[in-house]
Structure 1
Amino acid sequence: MLPTVRSVLDLPSVRRGEPTVVGGAAGLDAPVRWVHVSDVSDLHQLLSGGEMVLTTGLPFAGPDPVGRDYLRMLAELRVAALVVELGRSVQQLPAATGECADVLGLPVVTLSRPTAFVAVTEQTHRLIVADQFEELQFAHATHQVFTSLNLARATPTDIVGRAAEMLGDAVVLEDLTHRVLAFAAGPRPTAELLQDWTERSRRAPADWTVVGVGDAAPGGDPTAGSTRWGRLIRPGPPDPDRRSTHASTGVDASRPSGASRTSMVLERAAQSLHLHRMLERDRDALLLQAFGGLLDDLLTGRITDEPEAQARAAALGLQVPAGLGARHVPVVVRLGSGVADDPSDAVAAGEIDRRVLSAVRQEITTAGGTAIGSIRRPGTIALLVGSSRAALVDRLLQATCAAVERRLSTRSVETRNWAVGTSGPVPGLVAAARALAEADHVAEVGLAAAPVADGTRQRLFRPSDVRLRGLLTLLRHDHRVQQFAESELGRLLDHDARTGERLTDVLRAFLASGGGKTDTARRTGLSRPTLYSRLASIERILGVSLESVESRTSLHAALMLIDLH
């Protein structure tokens, strides 16, 4: 920490001069960056701010006896203080000097005894150099700490925790939507630190220290390729009462050295966090590429031997379940074209696919399973999920859905439609790979499924969920199937479009009730006479009998096709 005006006045060489503060006492805690000895009246070309000026008072003996212009110049140059030795050029300062110094906020000090300016300069500069050395020592220690963390593959929580330890205060890592990703509360209660965090962060007070994590766009242009993904925050000003000495260096990391030391720690921690993110991304990319190669070999039949498949998976670091209770589940995640912010942006869509795959693998691992997965085509992610026991399968499938939901719930991605399909657990990797085609078909059908009655969507689909709908999904683009649906329901749909009577909804409820009129009345909220009248209208418009099982089957299939479109 740089010496202050007050601490310089307390030096032995200055005390011998019997210093007296004439005015500007409010600025005695200003830092002194340098000491400059001069009797020149015009210092514009000599000072850059933060200096303590030592003079014999000659500027006060000039044409401006009060020295107002001289003091005003020093204040404009942001001088830390003016120290005047009396007895050589002037015997005393003008009476108005103190008042002028107070107005300008410039400390003015007189020395009533002869003072060796060279001793003052030497002692002050020794303090300044010591501070600079300590700052260099601290910067070196900070660099070592975070470099070691990166070499040790420390987690974001470890990095944030070490930053908080060095600062002796709380540190929070948040994403661009102000959601907390990691934090270290330090001496603060966690509940107090995180209470209403999002709102508090959005209106971050001026005394918060905030450092961006990731590279900002050149020139601040958000369209120029910014990789900024988070913010590292010390919520509040440095507290002089909080002190924390880093054990490995002995350097006091929390002494009140201004915003520069706090910013240094946060900036170095932010670099470590960004490097960690890039390393993890590269590692994940290589790992996913290797998983994709294994999956390709299984799907194309280049690997047909189960022990070979198990050995390949183990070589990738996967503890693939084996034995009598082990099960492997083929799973396919299908993302609708509306999942990306801009569906036409293939790069953005591909990034979403990769993030979803990474999130699913992590969630499955956390739930106690393993996952071999790859992106088969845009919007389609195939996985072979391994479970050590059959009872764990449902939990792993639910974990898959939870990971997709969470990944797509960020503000940068609009969740419109997605589905997870599976074809059921099988004993080995080879058999599971063969069943991926069925899981893909199930997921495709699930993606096309209409919302349920309350507007929500089923996300996890098994073969038992698709059945006839699955067949119709595969055939829905065939013009002959489309002609069938139109010939069955076209006249009723035209009638509803003209009249707004919504007879199609009544028919849908009737078919869903298996032809039961009582249940249909309950579903539609219609009275029985009104329901009978509308069913009669449907029969008249379509020219069919709703009592016929074959008619109801044809109409139900046609409705499924209409819903799929």
Structure 2
Amino acid sequence: MVMAADLVAVPALGLRAVHVSDGPPLRWVATSELPDPTPFLEGGELLLTTGLGTRGWSDQWSAYVARLAAAGAAGLGVGIGLTYSRLPEVLVEACRAHDLTLLEVPRETAFVAVSRAAAELLQDQEAASTRLALDLQRRLTRAALGLDLRPLLERLAQLLDATVVLVHRDGEPADGPFGAGTGGLDLGLVRAEVAGIKGQGLGAVSTTARDGATTVVRPIGLAGRPELYLAVSLPGPIDEPQRSAVSTAAVLLSLAVERRAERRAAERRLRGRALELLCSGDLRSAEVLLEVAESGRPVPERLRVVRMTGPEEVLGDVLGRIEDDLADDGVLAGTVDGDLLVVAAPTRVAGVLAAATGLRAGVGRAVAAQDARRSAETASHALDRTTATSPVRRWEDVADAGPLALVPEALGQEYAASLLAPLDTEHRTTLAAFLRHHGSRGAVADDLGIHRNTVRNRLTEIERLTGLDLDDPAARVGAWLALELAAEGPQD
């Protein structure tokens, strides 16, 4: 950037710097003889004056300089030889007090020459900034040739002498930080800025200056909800080439993330189909697909199938966590028929369930790889028996609970209601006693304290109302299930 004091280095102007500040950079040169020119300033101007409107001033200089500083002026240049033979000491002291750059302009230097020199400096600076921005863009583009984001992040940190990190939506680092000053990165600030802009979509940008550093946070992605954010912390203020470099890096990262997402989606489709084949009993075809999708990752020789269900967004998050954290442990995960299907060695199932926060999960029996179908079936039965209070069920737990646990709750209740609907309480009590005494009508009569003929008549009526043949063992099992399910009632 160009500062007002940089004009002192132009020999032809003969300017003398009386006081130099680190104030606003120079944007243009303005000329005014008004006692208060600030209504006509936009900020960043070097104001030139011969002091015609200030003749005889003393205490007024302090307020004049204060107004210029408040308006964001880049500096004040006073021509000598007309109103003043030398700069008033009160003016000099006021510029020092308000830290406003003060230049002395000799009588022989035309104000238009100062304006022309400032324009040339600004043009040179703009050209240099453009060249630098293009150079940074070329270097960043070369670093972004592959799908690995790390080289691009490291290159950005190196080129800008900055600290760079890629973070998730919750502000936790996904990659990095990179750069020499990683210890000084304020991750708390990054989290706060991500939280502030993540609801604003892909066009949001946050720039924060704090403690002598500038932090820029930008979302990464080309469509949909951004899942990653680029955070760059630079020492001091950010200039246009640096801002352009951050924007370029964000675009390149978005392209790389999109390419990775497309590749991941293709791999997920193949892996999902492979799991579907595996769980249908076609181990060989599943291994062929996994050779393509997973670079030959083997199916565990002994495995369990875990089937999970829940909200689509949560299923996607859990799938991503399993892919990122458990793939190296031989865990295979994919979407099949709207559920998340996971195949893992028995010793890895605990890690899978730990990642399944917010989902219901059924864990199938441990089997050899060629028997994966049996594990998948038992995982589905276990999933059917999950509840809000028991979101995870293992096949062993279901099997130990007896045959009633194998009947899906809604289906079992519907079966019991339809079979027992024609029977009143007396019929049901008699039927339960008949089943309890293994079909002995005499034992039923003694148990209920009624005559055997009454028992016989009631059983005949039950057969007529339900269509059951109570001498058929299968019918007795069905009646027993209905009575047990009706007694168990709906579960939460």
Same fold (TM over 0.5): yes
Shift in Å at residue 80 of structure 1?
1.1
Match among 365, 379, 393 for residue 423 of structure 1: 365
Residues 249-398 of structure 1 aligned to structure 2 (within 5 Å): 258=238, 260=240, 262-296=242-276, 307-321=284-298, 327=301, 329=303, 331-335=305-309, 349-367=311-329, 369=330, 371=332, 373-377=334-338, 380-385=339-344, 393-398=345-350
State how far apart, in whole Å, the 2-side matches of 1:317 and 1:267 are.
34
The alignment covers a number of residue pairs equal to 413
Counterpart check, 1:432 vs 2:384: no
Q: Is 1:82–1:109's contact at 8 Å kept on the other side of the alignment?
A: yes
For residue 170 of structure 2, what is the aligned residue in structure 1?
177
Map of 1:238 onto structure 2: 235
CA pair 71-449 structure 1, distance change in 2 beyond 3 A: closer
The separation in 2 between residues aligned to 1:112 and 1:355, in whole angstroms, is 70
What corresponds to 1:473 in structure 2?
Answer: 405
How far apart in 2 are the matches of 1:53 and 1:273? 44
Instruction: Please say if 1:227 is aligned against 2:225.
Output: yes
Are residues 10 and 50 of structure 1, via their aligned partners in 2, closer, same or farther at CA, if it must alter by over 3 Å?
same
Query: Could you tell me how far apart the structure 2 residues matched to 1:117 and 1:137 are?
Result: 30
Q: Could you tell me how far 1:467 is from its partner in structure 2?
A: 0.8
Q: Secondary structure at the match of 1:35?
A: strand
Q: Does 1:3 align with 2:2?
A: yes
- Partner in structure 2 of residue 209 of structure 1: 215
Counterpart amino acid of residue 332 in structure 2: A
Q: Measure the CA separation in 2 of the matches of 1:558 and 1:308.
A: 41
**What letter corresponds to residue 206 of structure 1 in structure 2?**
R
Q: Which residue is equivalent to 2:469? A: none
Alpha-carbon shift at residue 319 of structure 1 (Å): 0.6
CA offset at residue 440 of structure 1?
A: 1.8
Structure 2 counterpart of 1:329, which letter? L
Unaligned runs of 5+ in 2: 194-207, 420-480
Question: CA shift at 1:421, angstroms?
Answer: 1.1
CA distance in 1, matches of 2:398, 2:270: 33
The superposition leaves residues 66-113 of structure 1 with CA deviations (integer Å, 9 ceiling, x where unpaired) of 678976775565321121221145434556433554565543332355
* C-alpha separation in 1, matches of 2:210 and 2:487: 59
Paired with 1:261 and 1:560, the residues of 2 have a C-alpha distance of: 76
Which structure has the bigger radius of gyration? 2
Q: Give 1:51 deviation, angstroms.
A: 2.1
Q: Percent identity at matched positions?
A: 21
Query: Residue 363 of structure 1 contacts residue 399 of structure 1 at CA under 8 Å; is this kept in 2?
Result: no
The answer to whether the Cα contact below 8 Å between 2:29 and 2:48 also exists between their aligned partners in 1 is yes
Tell whether the 8 Å contact from 1:6 to 1:29 is kept in structure 2 after alignment.
Answer: no
8 A Cα contact 1:210 1:231, kept in partner: no
Hey, what's the Cα distance between the residues in 2 that align with 1:61 and 1:426? 101
Residue type matched to 1:436 in 2? A
Residue 72 of structure 2, aligned match among 74, 78, 99: 78
Q: Which amino acid aligns with 2:12?
A: S
- Secondary structure at the aligned position of 1:114 is classed as coil
Question: Amino acid of the residue matched to residue 11 of structure 1?
Answer: V
The separation in 1 between residues aligned to 2:384 and 2:303, in whole angstroms, is: 17
Give the alignment of 1:436-475 within 5 angstroms: 436-445=376-385, 447-448=386-387, 459=392, 461=394, 463-469=395-401, 471-475=403-407
Residues of 1 paired with 2:368 and 2:27: CA distance?
74
Deviations, residues 266-302 of structure 1 (Å, cap 9, x unaligned): 444344444444333333333323334445566678x
Q: Could you tell me how far 1:209 is from its partner in structure 2? A: 1.2
Change (3 A) 1:123 1:45: same
RMSD between aligned residues: 4.6
Whole-Å separation in 2 of the counterparts to 1:130 and 1:59: 34
Residue type at the aligned position of 2:307:
V
Distance 1:230 1:373, change over 3 A: closer
Specify whether residues 433 and 293 from structure 1 end up closer, same or farther in structure 2 by C-alpha distance, changes over 3 A only: same
Report if the CA contact (8 A) 2:17-2:103 is conserved. yes
Give, in whole Å, the separation in 2 of the partners of 1:331 and 1:163.
44
**Is 267-276 or 175-184 further displaced after alignment?**
267-276
How far apart, in 2, do the equivalents of 1:103 and 1:63 lie? 17
Relative distance call for 1:438 and 1:205 in structure 2 (3 A) is same
Shift of 1:396: 3.5
Question: What's the offset of the Cα at 1:436?
Answer: 1.9
> Which secondary structure does the structure 2 equivalent of 1:321 belong to?
coil
- Counterpart CA distance in 2 for 1:116 and 1:350 is 72
* C-alpha spacing 1:442/1:49, structure 2 compared with 1 (3 Å): same
Instruction: Describe the superposition over 1:218-256 as per-residue Cα deviations: whole angstroms up to 9, x where unpaired.
Output: xxxxxxx98244544345x615xxxxxxxxxxxxxxxxx
Question: What is the alpha-carbon distance in structure 1 between the residues aligned to residue 487 and residue 143 of structure 2?
Answer: 57
Alignment of 1:129-168 (within 5 A): 129-155=123-149, 157-168=150-161
